[in-house]
A and B are shown apart, each in its own frame.
Chain A
Amino acid sequence: MIRARGIEKRYGRKRVLNGIDLDVASGGFMLVTGSNGSGKTTLLRVVAGLAAPTRGTLEVDVDRARLGFLSHEPLVYRELSALENLELFGRLYRVHERRERIGMLLGRFGLWEARGERVSTYSRGMVQRLALCRALLHDPDLLVLDEPYSALDEQGAELLDRELDELVGRHTLVVSTHDPRRLARLATGRLALA
């Protein structure tokens, strides 16, 4: 599903990625590890299509409509409610049975009660959970998650564990993390960035 050869990403003088190869089969779970500043976020952005590689080839068999991305930032509007945010992205992604799917996701991630309140009132953990809902909303074939556990509270982390367990196998995942132990059991491949 993903084939990358010799990926280099430069921002002017700074070389962030230097000759990365990546292979992820359909249904696979690629774990990307590395310390801060090793380029994990940049690599995931390149895979998601937010940044074009300076050099190298990248083939991703999935278009934007079938790709879900979780970034360092939540990618949701502060002034809108969880429901309104998901409505917006639901429309943009042309999600089938939008209302039901939104309701289901909000319930699954424990945001149903707070669904009508503005995101600006949420705790950090809640915002991250909403970000996950947003990434999963359109049932993407490929999920690219950048350190999904980083902002989650304990309850959220358990919910995410459960979710990943269900997604593995049917969907392809590329996940970056600080703490590989939590996800090691699910991973079908690993990439360590220097």
Chain B
Amino acid sequence: MLAAGLMGLAVLLALVIAPEDADQGISQRIFYIHVPIALTAYFCFGLGAWKALLLLWRGDERYDLESYVAVHQGTIFGSLTLITGSLWAKASWGVWWTWSSNQLVLFLVLFLFYCAYFMLRFSLEEGPRRARSSAVYALFGVVLIPISFLAIRLAEDFIHPTVFTRDGPQMTATIFTAFCVSWAAVTLLAYVLYRVELAGKRLDTDLRELREALQ
């Protein structure tokens, strides 16, 4: 597992070198991190929802922890998406925030949604009720993603954003490779973090159970 972590970091370092080839400015550099982080966040939320579904379907409480950690990771990467997105906006257009980036707005809504997830968990006592309510909420989150996206697209009509030309990168071969490398690195990082946090929390519960059994 540690080896995987090291590999993840190594690949991350590799990506710092790659964009220097691209030589299109800082905003391009951020793109390599921002988009993979966003994709990873989506993936984490999806994983959280999948584990949640398994919890409700199979009734095994082990899935609760897995779902929680996945959502937690997703929220961390989601907040990173917002931060890198903000940096990108500053680098590209000189403003710290813009409503014209649908992706960014979507992440803001999702970020608020999943923060409420933790508030929900915090307010309920440990037990099957908390596990199930969290699971249902995680499922709602994943359904909210496409519907919110649709809504935000439609909202463009009357939010009247200032028109910024979205400079999506032209995907030449080197840039594409660099992007994939970066994406793999971030995904790997997320996976490592997920496993580490899950193992840590499992250890916690196992220790507690052991203590109880000895009493």
Q: Which residues of A contact B (CB under 8 A)?
A: 10-15, 51-52, 54
User: Are the CB atoms of A13 and B212 closer together than 8 Å?
Assistant: yes
Q: Report whether over half of chain B's contact residues are helix, strand or loop; otherwise say mixed.
A: loop
**With the chains together, A51 CA to B125 CA distance in Å?**
15
B126 within 8 A of A: yes
Interfacial chain A residues near B61, Cβ < 8 Å: 54
Interfacial chain A residues near B168, Cβ < 8 Å: none
**With the chains together, A51 CA to B208 CA distance in Å?**
23
User: Are the CB atoms of B212 and A11 closer together than 8 Å?
Assistant: no
User: Are the CB atoms of A12 and B212 closer together than 8 Å?
Assistant: no
Interfacial chain A residues near B130, Cβ < 8 Å: 12
Q: Which residues of B contact A (CB under 8 A)?
A: 59, 61, 125-128, 130, 208, 212
**With the chains together, A52 CA to B131 CA distance in Å?**
13
Interfacial chain A residues near B128, Cβ < 8 Å: 11, 51-52, 54
**Complex: chain A residue closest to B213, CB-CB:** A15
**With the chains together, A15 CA to B208 CA distance in Å?**
11
**With the chains together, A15 CA to B209 CA distance in Å?**
9
CB distance from B149 to the nearest CB of A (A): 36
CB distance from A57 to the nearest CB of B (A): 14
User: Are the CB atoms of B212 and A15 closer together than 8 Å?
Assistant: yes
Interfacial chain B residues near A13, Cβ < 8 Å: 126, 208, 212
Closest 3 A/B residue pairs (Cβ): A12-B126, A11-B127, A12-B127
**With the chains together, A159 CA to B126 CA distance in Å?**
40
**With the chains together, A14 CA to B61 CA distance in Å?**
15
**Complex: chain B residue closest to A16, CB-CB:** B127
User: Are the CB atoms of A11 and B125 closer together than 8 Å?
Assistant: yes
Interfacial chain A residues near B126, Cβ < 8 Å: 11-14
* Most B-side CB within 10 Å, residue of A12, A14, A52: A12
Given contacts A10-B127, A51-B128, 17 further A-B contacts (CB under 8 A): A11-B125, A11-B126, A11-B127, A11-B128, A12-B125, A12-B126, A12-B127, A12-B130, A13-B126, A13-B208, A13-B212, A14-B126, A15-B212, A52-B59, A52-B128, A54-B61, A54-B128
**Complex: chain A residue closest to B61, CB-CB:** A54
What are 11 A-to-B residue pairs whose CB atoms are below 8 Å?
A: A10-B127, A11-B126, A11-B127, A11-B128, A12-B125, A12-B127, A12-B130, A13-B208, A15-B212, A51-B128, A54-B61
Interfacial chain B residues near A11, Cβ < 8 Å: 125-128
**Complex: chain A residue closest to B124, CB-CB:** A12
Interfacial chain A residues near B208, Cβ < 8 Å: 13
